[in-house]
């Protein structure tokens, strides 16, 4: 295998990692939406009794999913950086050199967790759960 074919193969492997991470992120969002649906069902079914505890029970996993989704987004960004580094090489040693990506200012975990797309998605879910609680509480 010549050098160019090795670089192409390395790019394919790196792209596979990025695709898996994106798939994991999608799965996390799907599970989070399932939690949202269950939260609405249980809060509505409780008729206001102990709903405060139900809100906490459902907000905690949503925050956990948010952090996990942010982690996957962070890893995806790091591997996109690896992809970009490999793309510029003439020859490759098939290293997935993540430590060089850590040094870049925009590649921090907190930046991924607090990204606009994740923030809007998960804050909307949390606000929706709290809004359903207060709407049902007002009907008592």
Residues of the chain above pLDDT 70, percent: 89
Average pLDDT of the residues in 58-62:
90
> In Å, what is the CA distance from 59 to each residue of 37, 55, 64, 107, 110?
12, 6, 9, 27, 20
- Provide the sign of the torsion angle of the four alpha carbons 54, 120, 77, 99, taken in this order: negative
What does the mean pLDDT of the chain come to? Answer: 86
The answer to whether 53 and 133 have CB atoms below 8 angstroms apart is no
Distance CA 65, CA 32 (A): 7
pLDDT score recorded for residue 48: 63
The DSSP output letter for 95 is -
- Residue 131 scores a pLDDT above 90: no
Distance CA 104, CA 9 (A): 25
Distance CA 51, CA 45 (A): 10
Average pLDDT of the residues in 93-100:
75
Q: Output the pTM of the full model.
A: 0.86
pLDDT tens for 14-47 read 999 999 999 999 999 999 999 889 888 887 787 6
Distance CA 17, CA 6 (A): 17
Average pLDDT of the residues in 74-85:
89
Structure tokens at 114: 């607090």
pLDDT tens for 103-114 read 676 778 899 999
């Amino acid at each position: 295998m010549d050098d160019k074919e090795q670089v192409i193969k390395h790019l394919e492997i790196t792209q596979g990692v990025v695709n898996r991470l994106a798939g994991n992120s999608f799965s996390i969002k799907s599970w989070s939406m399932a939690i949202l649906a269950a939260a609405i069902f249980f809060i509505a079914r409780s008729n206001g009794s102990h709903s405060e505890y139900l809100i906490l029970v459902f907000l905690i996993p949503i925050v956990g999913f948010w952090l996990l989704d942010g982690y996957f987004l962070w890893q995806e960004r790091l591997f996109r950086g690896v992809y970009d580094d490999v793309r510029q090489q003439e020859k490759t040693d098939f290293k997935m050199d993540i430590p060089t990506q850590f040094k870049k200012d925009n590649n921090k975990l907190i930046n991924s967790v607090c990204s606009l797309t994740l923030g809007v998605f998960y804050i909307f879910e949390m606000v929706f759960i709290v809004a359903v609680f207060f709407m049902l509480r007002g009907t008592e």
